[in-house]
Every structure is written in structure tokens, then in C-alpha cells.
Amino acid sequence: MVANNKSRLGSYTKTIVHKGKTFKTSVGDKSYEALFSGINKNRTLGYQIGQIPAGYDTRPDLIADLFYGSSLNWWKFCEDNNIFDVFEDLNSGTYIYLP
């Protein structure tokens, strides 16, 4: 069963070139993100709605430090807000869930 899921997710990868090197990734792939789009939709209990402040674009570590008390919680912030690509999803004024 796990092998089946692994091969299924493998079909959602795309090839990108970054600084002259070629990588395979699922980051930013809309069909991959759609698999997980509904996971946290009902998790608003206990959360407040906020906006990303100016100067915090593409910086989940700074946002986590500001709202979660530690930059090490950047992954929790991204998980709570269904953020897959910080360059695409973290812009000033974007609405986010806050603890």
C-alpha cells in the first residue's frame, strides 16, 4: 500500500532548474497541492485570522517567531496555513491563521 502511494505521489513531481542545477519537486505543483487542500479547512477553532505584516514576505521563520514565539516553529505555521510554497503563498496582506 505504501509503495502504491509513493508511486502515485511521484506522478505529481515536476522538474525545475535553480542556479544551474536540475531538481525534481512537488512544491508549487497545483495537482499535488489539491490532494491536501481540504485537510485544514475546519481547523479555525482556536485560531484567529491575521495578515502577513509588511517586511515578512516569504519568511515563515520570522512570522513563526512573531506569533509562535520561536522561529523553529516555521513548519507548524506553514502546516496550519496550508503553505506549500513560501514564495507564492507568503506575501504582505495575505490572510493567515494565528494561534
Cα 52 to Cα 63: distance, rounded to the nearest angstrom: 8
pLDDT score for 61: 93
pLDDT score for 41: 52
pLDDT score for 6: 41
Strand 48-51 vs strand 21-25: parallel, antiparallel, or unpaired? unpaired
| Per-run averaged pLDDT (10 residues), the chain, 99 residues | 41 73 70 60 66 89 89 90 89 86
pLDDT score for 33: 64
